[in-house]
């Protein structure tokens, strides 16, 4: 995880450094809003990591931000995300005298939706770092697949997502740019299955890489 | 600008719609070996003393069915017997006086969409329907079940033949199916380990001696 943070920091610093060396450093227009579309990689944390330990690149995110005043913006994020992992032979017991020994597959499918408040330190620069806080919820489905049995639970939750990132514009007058961001997400969601498979307050880290459409 | 935004949203929609909720590799699970068991929790298994089991097993396939015996079958039945003996049960060769009757069958590749109690009784060669009085068999509990047999499956039913119902039906106190075996991909050791596991994961059985 430290490596990922280090790489992101280096990328952002490199971009800022390049900006310092190459003109122009500012946009040729004042952005009024922007829309993002990013590819997400999720790293589960804490109890959630016991359920699925693998990092998962299966995820996308759509977002919009509208500048309210200066670098302050408000908007939304809607995402799609899946984390999954297969496990070897395990025995699952029911409380009715049943038992199954088999390989199993676990995955969580989630649809987060959040309102976001963001602050851009340099909204009119070519590189625009920001911090944001998302507040909202998720719809999650936790599936335990044992052979053809699909044992699953669906849950809604409340979630908080602080994020750091940067918009990297492709040109002074271009409406397009790149997005790189990293966030931590805390939710009230939980997983509870048999065999003491219990995870509470699911947490995860997300790496987002994508495109941004800037509106004048 | 509006066009670009629409294109961006359309592209995003296309990618999102191509994403499935279920991971593609999850389909593979059904081909893996699995051991299912279920027992009648209202029964004390220490009250049974003897059991009967044929050396042959019932073979069921899409084309035919009947009693079957070879070296691999022998390894299956002898392993079952070994597990029964370890739990204190005595094998008897008198099917009419035994406490328990173990019916062992092998379903090769019959594809059925739903398995429910007694679906295979219609196959010729399976337990003689009038053997204990004509009432047939029943599960006092909902048995372990699966939705299809795509690979070799061993079924074991443990019938309580001395306690028929008033309408002379024989209760099945334990049933097990081990799926994915006898397909040529599994070794005899794996088959025997699977049988051991079927007994080991049944908490209602007496402890091993």
For residue B43, being part of any structural domain is answered with yes
- Write out the two tokens for B188: 């005899």
For residue B129, being part of any structural domain is answered with yes
For residue A148, the domain's CATH number is 2.40.160.20
For residue A15, being part of any structural domain is answered with no
What are the angstrom distances between the C-alpha of B42 and each of A35, A158, B131, B141, B184?
Answer: 62, 43, 25, 9, 38
**Rounded mean pLDDT, B132-152:** 55
A58 touches chain B (CB under 8 A): yes
Could you tell me how many helices (H) and strands (E) chain A has, helices first?
Answer: 2, 10
- In terms of residue numbers, what domain contains A144? 30-215
Sites in chain A below the pLDDT cut of 50: 20, 23
- In terms of residue numbers, what domain contains B115? 33-200
Q: What pLDDT score was predicted for residue B3?
A: 64
Q: How many domains in chain A?
A: 1
Interface contacts (A, B; CB < 8 Å): 100
Helix (H), strand (E) at residue A160: strand A149-169
- Asked if residue B30 has pLDDT above 80, the reply is no
Contact A104 B1 (CB under 8 A): no
Tens-digit pLDDT profile for residues A66-106 = 999 989 999 999 999 999 998 888 888 877 888 888 888 88
- Asked if residue B200 has pLDDT above 60, the reply is yes
Within A63-166, residue ranges assigned H as helices are: none
Q: What pLDDT score was predicted for residue B47?
A: 96
DSSP secondary structure string for all residues of A68-90: EETTEEEEEEEEEEEEEEEEEEE
For residue A200, being part of any structural domain is answered with yes
Q: Calculate the CA A85 to chain-centre distance.
A: 18
**Rounded mean pLDDT, B43-52:** 95
For residue A108, being part of any structural domain is answered with yes
For residue A183, being part of any structural domain is answered with yes
For residue A130, being part of any structural domain is answered with yes
Within chain B, residue ranges assigned H as helices are: 2-18, 71-86, 188-200
For residue B150, being part of any structural domain is answered with yes
What is the distance in angstroms between the Cα of B134 and the nearest Cα belonging to chain A? 28
For residue B66, being part of any structural domain is answered with yes
A146 touches chain B (CB under 8 A): yes
Instruction: With beta carbons less than 8 A apart as the criterion, state whether A118 and A179 touch.
Output: no
Q: What pLDDT score was predicted for residue A163?
A: 97
What pTM was computed for the model? Answer: 0.69
Higher-confidence residue of A197 and B149: namely A197
For residue A19, being part of any structural domain is answered with no
Contacts of B195 (CB under 8 A, 6+ apart): B76, B79, B80, B83, B154, B178
Contact A58 B19 (CB under 8 A): yes
A96 touches chain B (CB under 8 A): yes
Strand A198-199 to strand B50-53: parallel, antiparallel, or no bridges (unpaired)?
Answer: unpaired
For residue B189, being part of any structural domain is answered with yes
Contact A101 B197 (CB under 8 A): yes
Q: What pLDDT score was predicted for residue A195?
A: 56
Q: What pLDDT score was predicted for residue A192?
A: 82
For residue B13, being part of any structural domain is answered with no
In terms of CA atoms, which chain B residue is nearest residue A210?
B12
Lowest-pLDDT range, A82-91, B3-12, B124-133? B124-133
For residue A207, being part of any structural domain is answered with yes
**Residue of B5, B39, B179 lying closest to A97 (CB–CB):** B39
For residue B137, the domain's CATH number is 3.30.160.670
- Asked if residue B119 has pLDDT above 50, the reply is no
User: What CA–CA distance (Å, rounded) separates B196 from B209?
Assistant: 14
Q: Calculate the CA A213 to chain-centre distance.
A: 19
Contacts of B3 (CB under 8 A, 6+ apart): none
In terms of CA atoms, which chain B residue is nearest residue A35?
B5
CB < 8 Å to B32, chain A: 102-103, 147
Q: What pLDDT score was predicted for residue A200?
A: 82
Q: What pLDDT score was predicted for residue B24?
A: 62
User: What CA–CA distance (Å, rounded) separates A188 from A138?
Assistant: 9
Contact A102 B16 (CB under 8 A): no
For residue B144, being part of any structural domain is answered with yes
**Rounded mean pLDDT, B81-94:** 95
Lowest-pLDDT range, B72-81, B139-148, B198-207? B139-148
């Amino acid at each position: 995880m430290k490596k990922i943070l280090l790489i992101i920091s280096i990328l952002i610093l490199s971009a800022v450094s390049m900006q310092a060396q190459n003109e122009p450093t500012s946009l040729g227009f004042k952005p009024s809003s922007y829309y993002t579309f990013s590819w997400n990689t999720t790293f589960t944390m804490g109890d959630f990591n016991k359920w699925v330990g693998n990092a998962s690149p299966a995820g996308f995110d759509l977002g919009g931000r509208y500048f309210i005043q200066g670098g302050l913006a408000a908007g939304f994020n809607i995402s799609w995300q899946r984390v999954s992992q297969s496990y070897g032979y395990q025995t699952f017991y029911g409380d009715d005298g049943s038992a199954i020994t088999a390989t199993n597959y676990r995955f969580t499918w989630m649809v987060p939706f959040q309102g976001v408040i963001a602050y851009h330190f340099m909204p009119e620069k070519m590189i625009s770092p920001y911090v944001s806080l998302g507040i909202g919820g998720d719809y999650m489905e936790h599936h335990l697949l044992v052979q053809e049995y699909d044992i699953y639970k669906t849950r809604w939750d409340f979630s908080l997502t602080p994020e750091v990132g940067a918009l990297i514009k492709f040109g002074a007058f271009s409406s397009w740019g790149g997005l790189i961001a990293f966030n931590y997400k805390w939710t009230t969601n939980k997983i509870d299955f048999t065999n003491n498979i219990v995870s509470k307050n699911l947490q995860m880290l997300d790496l987002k890489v994508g495109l941004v459409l800037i509106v004048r | 600008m509006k066009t670009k935004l629409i294109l961006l949203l359309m592209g995003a929609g296309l990618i999102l719609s191509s994403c499935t909720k279920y991971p593609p590799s999850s389909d593979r699970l059904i081909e893996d070996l699995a051991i299912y068991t279920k027992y009648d929790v209202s029964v004390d298994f220490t009250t049974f003393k003897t059991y009967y089991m044929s050396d042959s097993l019932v073979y069921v396939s899409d084309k035919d069915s009947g009693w079957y015996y070879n070296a691999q079958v022998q390894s299956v039945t002898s392993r079952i017997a070994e597990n029964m003996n370890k739990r204190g049960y005595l094998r008897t060769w008198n099917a009419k006086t035994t406490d328990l009757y173990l019916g062992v069958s092998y379903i090769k590749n019959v594809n059925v969409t739903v398995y429910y109690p007694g679906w295979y009784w219609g196959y010729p060669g399976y337990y003689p329907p009038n053997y204990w009085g004509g009432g047939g068999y029943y599960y006092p509990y909902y048995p372990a079940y699966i939705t299809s047999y795509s690979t070799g499956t061993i079924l074991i039913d443990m019938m309580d033949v001395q306690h028929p119902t008033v309408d002379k039906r024989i209760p099945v106190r334990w049933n097990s199916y081990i799926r994915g075996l006898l397909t040529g991909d599994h070794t005899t050791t794996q088959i025997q380990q699977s049988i051991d596991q079927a007994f080991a994961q049944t908490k209602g059985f007496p402890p091993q001696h």
